[in-house]
Amino acid sequence: MNAAGTMRIVRTVNELQAIVNPKQRNGRTVGFVPTMGFLHEGHLTLVEHARRDHDIVVMSIFVNPAQFGPGEDYEAYPRNEQRDADLASAAGVDYLFIPSVEEMYPNKSTIRILPGEQATRLCGASRPGHFDGVLKVLLKLFNIIDPDESYFGMKDAQQLAIIETFVRDFNLRTVISRVPTVRETDGLAKSSRNVRLTEQERSEASAIYKALSLGKKSYYDGVPLQEVEKIIRTAIEKDTSGTIDYVTALAYPSLDENFSEAEEVIIAAAVKFTSTRLIDNIIMSTIKDEKND
């Protein structure tokens, strides 16, 4: 923990950089958990991993406008700073970075980061520019904090794959740590957007993970991946009133269809309900006796 033994909220880049400057760390390591706030158990599990592994834990809360496209839910994205601060403090965060948009983006930027082919699949196919914005803010945060290790949930598997590739290809110092998806008791992946489901939609939403689990079983039973996609799609259409955005099987983390050399395969789905869109996935080993989730 920090010197005071309690969490400190930081709002400016200069202040945070002064705190986590490597010269000030005295050999202590930093674990970093980037979030957009409205914290839930999934975020707190990331903190738990960072707290276990590192001397200093930094969490950021920043609803990043650069990753929201036209007509998306930037203004409607749930926010509750006091609640988040209480949860972060209780979880063991040392420094909670909550910058304003003006603090993070003080100047109009003409330089873009383009994530490449990985961003054209899954969520990226219907959200052009989204992952450009994700990498933009993460590069800034990685440079500001210089974390030894950064923690990401596997629910956002496409984002995780792109970030891993980005860090590898640009020789960034931080290590990316995968943390398994945290789920409700009925299997629904925990998400800040779940609060926007109607009562009926919430009861239906668990069908997404059940359909993916059926797809996983089918894959390990020898069903071809194209047929696995159809099985998942049929189950979601049968058990929910949502509209399927995609159901896809891809090699992971390359996110292409070159399955012959892949050690892992992802089956992923996105379903649109009235006021929100839910995503979920299962990553499977291509070695059939390693039936991982």
CATH classification of the domain holding 233 = 3.30.1300.10
Domain that holds residue 161: 8-179
pLDDT, one tens digit per residue, over 128-185 is 899 999 999 999 999 999 999 999 999 999 999 999 999 999 999 999 999 999 999 9
- Considering the domain architecture, whether residues 158 and 277 belong to the same structural domain is answered as no
Q: Which residue bears the tokens 């989204």?
A: 130
Residue 291 pLDDT class (50, 70, 90 cuts):
low
Is 191 annotated as contributing to ligand binding? yes
Residues 65, 91 contacting (CB under 8 angstroms): no
- Considering the domain architecture, whether residues 239 and 174 belong to the same structural domain is answered as no
CB-CB neighbours of 277 under 10 Å: 18
Is 153 annotated as contributing to ligand binding? yes
Enclosing H/E stretch for 248:
strand 243-252
Q: How far apart are CA 106 and CA 291, in angstroms?
A: 48
Is 193 annotated as contributing to ligand binding? yes
pLDDT at 269 over 80: yes
- Considering the domain architecture, whether residues 245 and 120 belong to the same structural domain is answered as no
Q: Is 241 helix (H, G, I), strand (E, B) or coil?
A: coil
Q: Is 132 helix (H, G, I), strand (E, B) or coil?
A: helix
Specify the pTM. Answer: 0.89
pLDDT at 126: 83
Q: How far apart are CA 171 and CA 196, in angstroms?
A: 39
Is 39 annotated as contributing to ligand binding? yes
- Considering the domain architecture, whether residues 151 and 271 belong to the same structural domain is answered as no
Q: Measuring CA to CA, which residue among 96, 97, 88 is closest to residue 12?
A: 97
Domain count of the chain?
2
pLDDT at 192: 80
- Considering the domain architecture, whether residues 142 and 210 belong to the same structural domain is answered as no
- Considering the domain architecture, whether residues 225 and 84 belong to the same structural domain is answered as no
Is 67 annotated as contributing to ligand binding? yes
pLDDT, one tens digit per residue, over 71-130 is 777 888 889 999 999 999 999 999 999 999 999 999 988 899 999 999 999 999 888 899
Kindly list the catalytic residues: 43
